[in-house]
Amino acid sequence: MLLLSALLMQARSLVLTLNDGTKAYYPITAAQRPVLCFTDGKLSVETQSYFFTDIREFRVSDEDGPTGIRSTEIRPKMKGNRLWIDTEVKVAVYDAGGRKQSVDIEKAAGGQIVSLASLLPGLYIVHAGKTTFKYVKK
């Protein structure tokens, strides 16, 4: 246990390598630690789930992810029915029942604008990269 604690103190990221060669990086910082859950043949890290059979390698690394950025925090800004995200990450919107919603996403200088105008009133979950937050449309 002491050895594991020492390794994690030096680690900067959790790296999953999938069988197809894709790598998923999860930053490890003083303020941000990925939460892992092992259930029903799956490994869940934050909002992503992976089947054990799809994972070639699972490790902690003392290197940053491929961007060289240790950690970023997305700070979305609302303006009416439009959501400004200050980075270009994958964005998905889900209703309270977990169904993915179709929304218009427009690239803008330094980020993107997500139009939530087509959504019915209710509670929605917005995934932007590794950041998740809720949105209530009245």
Tokens of 16: 């999953």
Helix H segments across the chain?
2-10
- Note whether 118 and 104 are within 8 A (CB): yes
How many distinct helices (H) and strands (E) make up the chain? 1, 14
Q: For position 117, what pLDDT does the model report?
A: 92
Q: For position 72, what pLDDT does the model report?
A: 47
pLDDT tens per residue across all 138 residues of the chain: 444 444 445 667 778 888 887 777 777 776 777 788 888 888 888 777 888 888 888 887 776 555 444 444 566 788 888 888 888 888 889 888 888 999 999 998 878 999 999 999 988 888 887 777 788 888
Q: Residue 111's beta-bridge partner residues?
A: 108
Q: For position 67, what pLDDT does the model report?
A: 47
pTM of the model: 0.47
CB atoms within 10 A of CB 15: 18
Q: For position 65, what pLDDT does the model report?
A: 54
Q: For position 76, what pLDDT does the model report?
A: 75
Tokens of 7: 């390794």
Pairing of strands 104-108, 111-115: antiparallel
Starting at the earlier edge strand, list the strands of the sheet with 122-128. Answer: 100-101, 91-95, 122-128, 131-137
Using alpha carbons, select from 82, 6, 69, 76 the residue that is nearest to residue 32: 69
